[in-house]
């Protein structure tokens, strides 16, 4: 007989909470990104997933709301890109599906690599008002990751939806993490093996 689960539980890596406590709020976007890139590197070292991290910050204060890392291989779910994890953790923490609600401060999504097609599509639904990225699509593609079919000018698409977008903040360091993963023979978990 068909049996459906009653819940879906996603377990975060043990190291993540302690790591996040090392962050000190800052108005400096580059410093915020350095923290996110360090989390991506830690995810590789700890072998908890792909070489990607993302975080939700309050835009002005720089206070950290949630830190996510890629958990595709670690949790066995293809949807668990770092941005998706960060958005979900932040919404759960703040109690609702809209990080841009009327009574809320503005929120940023920082991502250590430009978003794939899925995460790009998730951003407008999340309520964030700003996206800041480090490594570029071509850096991810250079180690074999597929970014999916994005609109040609995806930055303009976000800006047109009122989401400020700043790219290539800390690109060199983030691209190094991608190469570090590839050099360690990390799994490039693109679509469909069979």
Beta carbon of residue 182, minimum distance to a second copy (angstroms, whole number): 19
Give Rg (Cα) of the chain: 16
- Does the annotation count 9 as an active-site position? no
Query: Measured in whole angstroms, how far is the alpha carbon of residue 122 from the centre of its chain?
Result: 11
Beta carbon of residue 111, minimum distance to a second copy (angstroms, whole number): 14
* DSSP H/E element including 64: strand 64-69
Beta carbon of residue 83, minimum distance to a second copy (angstroms, whole number): 9
CB 44 within 8 A of CB 183: no
Q: Between residues 28 and 194, which has the closer beta carbon with respect to a second copy? A: 194
Q: Between residues 101 and 144, which has the closer beta carbon with respect to a second copy? A: 101
- Kindly name the residue from 83, 138, 164, 193 that is annotated as catalytic: 83
Q: Between residues 156 and 172, which has the closer beta carbon with respect to a second copy? A: 156
132-166 burial by CB neighbour count: b if 16+ within 10 A, else e?
Answer: bbbbbbebbeebebebeebeeebbebbeeeebebe
Active site residues: 83
């Amino acid at each position: 007989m068909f049996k459906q689960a009653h819940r879906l539980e996603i377990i975060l890596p043990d190291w993540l909470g302690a790591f996040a406590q090392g962050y000190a709020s800052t108005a400096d976007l580059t410093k915020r990104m350095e923290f996110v890139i360090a989390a991506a590197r830690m995810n590789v070292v700890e072998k908890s997933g792909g070489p990607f991290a993302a975080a939700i910050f309050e835009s002005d204060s720089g206070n950290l709301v949630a830190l996510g890392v890629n958990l595709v291989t670690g949790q066995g779910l293809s949807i668990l890109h770092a941005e998706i994890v960060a958005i979900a953790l932040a919404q759960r923490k703040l109690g609702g599906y809209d990080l841009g609600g009327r009574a809320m401060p503005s929120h940023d999504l920082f991502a250590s690599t430009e978003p794939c097609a899925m995460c790009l599509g998730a951003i407008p639904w999340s309520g964030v008002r700003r996206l800041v990225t480090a490594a570029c699509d071509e850096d991810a593609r250079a180690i074999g990751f597929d970014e999916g079919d994005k609109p040609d000018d995806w930055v303009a698409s976000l800006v047109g939806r009122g989401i400020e977008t700043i790219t290539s903040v800390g690109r060199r360091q983030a691209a190094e993490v991608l190469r570090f993963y590839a050099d360690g023979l990390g799994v490039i978990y693109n679509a469909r093996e069979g």
